[in-house]
Chains A and B, each alone.
Chain A
Amino acid sequence: MFGVRLRKLSLVVMALAATIHARPALRLYVDAPGAPSRLRDEVVQLLRKNPAIELVAVPQQAERIVALAGETHIRGYQGRNIRLRYVNADSYPVFTGYLSVELKTPDEQPVWSSLATAKRPGPEDEVDRSLASQIVKRLVDYLATAEGAKP
């Protein structure tokens, strides 16, 4: 009987301790002055899935500013036969690009930054997703290690 109570008590103490030590979600504002809205949207969508991060609507509410810059562009056209060098009705545009991120304090002081390039040329939405997922992974890893923002 005493053992059961003690176990319950220790569970309550552990839960309380976890509540005290858990860091509230880190408030981020995503700014994309130098990136198309598609890329910003991909990044925002991925960040929303992380419970350690709260996205805010205005920079004044943020603890950190995420500034994105980058682009995708058509690298060429590809058909089913990759040996063909000319464009025909079968061809589709193949994109490449890059995305960079700079993490800053609200008063514009640099905290961390990174850059990702397209792993392989492809359709625009695939390249967007690849760039966004690379950047978000690195950002989340940094925030977890350096700022304690762990899910």
Chain B
Amino acid sequence: MKRVLWNSLIALTLLRGQAARGAEPLSGAGATFPFPLYQKWISTFEKKFPGIQIAYKPIGSGAGIAELAAKRIDFAASEFPLTDRELASFPVRVRHIPTVVGGVVIIYRLDGLVQDLRLTPDTLAGIYLGKIRRWNDPRLRSINRGLPLPDREITTVHRSDSSGTTFILTSYLSQVNAEWKSAVGAGAVVPWPTGKAGEFSDGVAKQVAATPDSIGYVEFFYALENRVSYALLRNSAGQFVQADLTSLPAAAESLLAGMPDDLRLSLVNAPGKASYPLASLTYLLVPEKFENEEKAKAMAEFLRWLLDTGQKQAGALGYVALPARITEKAVKLVGKPN
């Protein structure tokens, strides 16, 4: 009798614990690019909807997609949408839900240089190809007149993991530089001709901050957070532009007309004088069907919230809210509340 009572007490405590915690948390993983914003979103969302909990791990886009394919998580996050071929063989039928627009910046550490560095598509490709090896190379000096560029070797830093940020940079370099396209190409993981590797965005930012004469690439907010300088890039209209809340939306707006219904679209090298050339949409890859009905409802609730209220928090972290035409299409993909 005592044992029955004891077991009942334990069961009740467990049930109460479960109720207090709410349903099983939604689990997501992938891109580090939007992680600062996703952290903020999840915290704000969970306060508004205390019954829903979300756990997100920034393990890189490629690893996130692999986790989703293995059905170990409920959603993945990535800057590179799956291709038609990848979608056809993917073990889960997924929708691509764009969440915000962000930018990749070229960060550098050049002690003694207080002015902003300028880079053209060819000089950036030349540095990462290992063809431009020193900071005072004439090709860099000619676009940075008057700047005291040192006679020192350039150390390039790239991502070691399968990364959406790498995909954005290498897609851009493949568009603007024929040698890069044939020798390296575009991808989340590429055969880097030179340089050191850093793990995740934070690892690259910290490695550049700690290495004199280095150059790397991260999402915009990581540069601000880690106090590293970032370069102006020459865009397709020939203007040198820096990533900010003017040049990133300009890139998105310039390509809206070509937005397909499934919302898979590249923003790199966007036309327009004000457009920043390394802008990108970032996506959540969400299964069309969930086995757990509660999770399906929670996921839809979170998606509808981030496409509406969540967008209002994007600017504070250097991301750009989706243009209304994209949001409308994305909300349709999410579906109506049950």
Instruction: Assess whether B229 is in contact with A115, with CB atoms less than 8 Å apart.
Output: no
Which A residues touch B229, using CB under 8 A? 75, 96
Instruction: Provide the bound-state CA to CA distance between A131 and B116, in Å.
Output: 17
Q: Which residues of A contact B224 (CB under 8 A)?
A: 98, 117
Q: Mark A72-102, 1 if CB is under 8 A from B, else 0.
A: 0101111000111110000000101010111
> Which chain A positions have C-beta within 8 A of B336?
none
**A75 contacts across to B, CB distance below 8 A:** 114, 229
Q: Once the chains are docked, how many angstroms separate the CA of A86 from the CA of B48?
A: 53
Enumerate chain A residues within 8 angstroms of B227, measured Cβ to Cβ: 73
Verify if A19 is at the interface (C-beta below 8 Å from B): no
| CA of A102 to CA of B43, assembled, Å | 15
In the complex, what distance in Å separates the CA atom of A109 from the CA atom of B311?
12
How many chain A residues touch B (Cβ–Cβ < 8 Å)? Answer: 29
Q: Which residues of A contact B116 (CB under 8 A)?
A: 120
Contacts of A110 in B (CB 8 A): 44, 309-310, 312-313
Interface flags, A109-141, vs B, CB<8A=1, else 0: 111111111001100000000000000000000
Q: A82-B146, A110-B313 are known contacts. Are A76 and B112 too (CB-CB below 8 A)?
A: yes
Tell me the complex Cα distance, A111–B113, Å. Answer: 39
Q: Which residues of chain B are within 8 angstroms of A62 by Cβ–Cβ distance?
A: none
User: Do B316 and A102 touch (CB < 8 A)?
Assistant: yes
Cβ B317 vs Cβ A82 within 8 A: no
User: Which interface residue of B115, B147, B150, B229 has the most chain A CB atoms within 10 A?
Assistant: B115
Given known A110-B312, A113-B316, contact A121–B245 (CB-CB < 8 A): no
* Residue contact B315 to A83, C-beta cutoff 8 Å: no
Interface assignment of B47: CB less than 8 Å from any CB of chain A: yes
Task: Please tell me if A69 contacts chain B, counting CB pairs below 8 Å.
Answer: yes
- B134 CB to closest chain A CB (Å) equals 15
When distances are taken between beta carbons in the complex, the residues of chain A under 8 Å from B44 are: 108, 110
Instruction: Give Cα distance in the complex from A13 to B77, angstroms.
Output: 59
Neighbouring A residues of B111 by C-beta, 8 Å: 76, 85
> For the complex, what is the distance from the CA of A78 to the CA of B310, rounded to whole Å?
41
User: What residue in chain A is nearest B230 (Cβ atoms)?
Assistant: A117
A115 / chain B contacts, CB cutoff of 8 Å? 244-245, 315-318
A102 to B242 Cα, complex, angstroms: 22
Considering the complex, which residues of chain B in the window 95-154 have a beta carbon less than 8 Å from any beta carbon of chain A? 111-116, 146-148, 150
- Identify which of A73, A94, A117, A121 contacts B244 (C-beta below 8 A): A117
Q: In the complex, what residues of B have CB within 8 A of residue A73's CB?
A: 227
B314 at the interface (CB under 8 A from A): yes
Q: Contact: B115 with A109, CB < 8 Å?
A: no
0/1 interface trace, chain B 182-210, chain A, CB 8 Å (1 if under):
00000000000000000000000000000
Measured CA separation A101–B141 after assembly (Å): 37
Cα of A120 to Cα of B146 in the assembled complex, Å: 16
Closest to A111 in B: B312
Query: Which of the residues A76, A98, A109, A120 comes within 8 Å of B113, measured between beta carbons?
Result: A76
* Minimal beta-carbon separation of A74 from chain B (angstroms): 9
- Which residues from chain A contact B242 at a C-beta distance below 8 Å? 117
**Which B271-326 residues have a C-beta within 8 angstroms of A?**
309-310, 312-318
Nearest CB in chain A to that of B227: its residue = A73
CB of B200, distance to nearest CB on chain A (Å): 22
Q: Which residues of B contact A116 (CB under 8 A)?
A: 245
Which residues of chain B are within 8 angstroms of A114 by Cβ–Cβ distance? 245, 315-316
A73 to B112, CA, bound (A): 15
* Residue interface mask B36-70, A partner, CB < 8 A = 1: 00000000100110000000000000000000000
Task: State the A residues within 8 Å of B (CB).
Answer: 69, 73, 75-78, 82-86, 94, 96, 98, 100-102, 108-117, 120-121
Chain B contact residues, CB within 8 Å of chain A:
44, 47-48, 111-116, 146-148, 150, 224, 227, 229, 242, 244-245, 309-310, 312-318
Between A and B, 18 residue pairs with Cβ closer than 8 Å are A69-B316, A75-B229, A76-B114, A82-B114, A82-B115, A83-B146, A98-B224, A100-B316, A100-B318, A101-B316, A109-B48, A109-B309, A110-B310, A110-B313, A113-B317, A115-B244, A115-B245, A117-B242
Other CB < 8 Å A-B pairs besides A100-B315, A100-B316, A117-B242, 9 of them?
A: A69-B316, A82-B146, A84-B148, A96-B229, A101-B316, A113-B316, A115-B245, A115-B316, A115-B317
